[in-house]
Amino acid sequence: MIQAVYVHVPFCEQICHYCDFNKFYYQYQPVDEYLQCCDQEMKRVTSLYPPEEIRSIYVGGGTPTALKSTELDKLLSSIAHHFPKRASDIEYTVEINPGNVGVEELKQLKQRGVNRLSIGAQTFNEQLLKKIGRDHAPGDVERTIKAARKVGFNNISIDLMYALPGQTLEGFRDTLAEAFRLDVDHVSSYALKIEAKTVFYQRWKQGVLPLPSEETEAEMFQVLIEEMEKNGYSQYEISNFAKRGYESVHNLTYWNNEGYYGVGAGAHSYMGGVRRENLGPLPKYMTSIKEGELPIREEHHVSKREMMEEEMFMGLRKKAGVSKSMFREKYDIELRKVFADALDYLTEKGFIKETDEAVSLTEEGIYFGNDVFEQFLLGEE
């Protein structure tokens, strides 16, 4: 059953120094041609995998709002046409960049059924914003949120980063305080990771990227958890926090190991037990579409063993953990029968807790997530 849709808009007006997502400068790109190809991909993929009632749509990037109003409307029209059957409580998210979205654009999104915004704030420190290559000012986030509330958006998420070059613990506390003042509904917060093919990677290799120590990064994560709880946000996943009722349906699709459509250059999908990655370069993606194909760069048929491993990797990221009854329903076997050794070892280490209903991370285990997940690799079949 596939109830979630991700659509990738790979265009940006500014390339951030940390970003390794598939993206291109908006200027001089064949945007209209790309949107036509996305429409054709939706048509083909839904003919192969007819959609159920869609519970979540997420338009990400890149920067979807880098598109002109007419271009964005064309994309949203394609989504509406190919995925018309929607749950009454559907979550429909579009990523927006603070500072380049006005009231008219927000009204356009609302009229097209979008009911959730994800805003890339990252930090409220002006110097840090410049260091990481962002093109907005701290005040742009507040102005964007106020405009969105006025238009009628009552589900707003912001992204925050920590362990940024030159960032201090107190500086991160200040950013959190500003986020709480803005009273958003959801916060995603991740530590900076140095990825290949980014500006930061090149600086890191040259030894000119002043990053906080691992100890400071761990302290920032601890402060994040503590301050979120104090301010009424539940840590429902390792890096995600929400007021009650505002947990992201789309994110939970991934962590529940459920299927989803992935449309656009470089997009990933999980359909019919097969994980696919689309071609990333625009010419290759569009040529594949024009030749009547699906634009697949790579696909992997996931075995039952791998599905069970992934169930643990992703499910344990959630505060609720992995449901034993759901595991049994999906894989027709008891969770403990598959992972007894890992469960016993991690319980003894104090990293997980096991009840009759579920397996989940302990408060200490949250800090050692990758070490925990590694224990659930089953080895070769």
Rounded Cα–Cα distance for residues 312 and 359 (Å) = 9
User: For residue range 183-197, what is the model confidence (pLDDT) as tens digits?
Assistant: 999 999 999 999 888
Tell me how crowded residue 136 is: count the other CB atoms within 10 A of its CB: 20
- Residue pLDDT, tens place only, 50-87: 988 999 999 999 899 999 999 999 999 999 999 999 99
Q: What is the DSSP letter of 112?
A: T
Q: Could you report the per-residue pLDDT of 6-29, keeping only the tens digit for each?
A: 999 999 888 888 887 878 888 889
pLDDT tens digits, one per residue of 157-173: 999 999 999 999 999 99
Q: Say if residue 31's pLDDT is above 70.
A: yes
Which tens digit of pLDDT belongs to each residue from 77-126? 999 999 999 999 999 999 999 988 999 999 999 999 999 999 999 999 99
Question: Where do the domains of the chain lie, and which CATH numbers do they carry?
Answer: 2-254 (3.20.20.70), 321-374 (no CATH)
Q: Determine what percent of the chain is predicted with pLDDT higher than 90.
A: 88
Query: What is this structure's pTM?
Result: 0.95
pLDDT in tens, 305-318: 999 999 999 999 99
Cα–chain center distance at 205: 27
> Phi and psi at residue 209, in whole multiples of 5°?
-120, 100
Mean pLDDT over 350-374 rounds to: 95
Q: In the predicted model, what is the mean pLDDT of the chain?
A: 95
Asked if residue 151 has pLDDT above 70, the reply is: yes
* R_g of the chain, CA atoms, integer Å: 21
What pLDDT is recorded for position 342? 97
Q: Is the pLDDT of residue 250 over 80?
A: yes
Peptide bond into 171 cis (omega under 30): no
pLDDT of residue 380: 61
Q: How much is the pLDDT for 381? A: 54
Nearest to 81 by CA among 31, 32, 40: 40
Could you tell me which residues come within 8 angstroms of residue 20 by beta carbon, excluding any fewer than 6 positions away? 195, 196, 197, 198
Reported as a pLDDT band with limits 50, 70 and 90, residue 154 is very high
User: What pLDDT sits at residue 82?
Assistant: 97
Q: Look at residue 331 and tell me whether its pLDDT is greater than 80.
A: yes
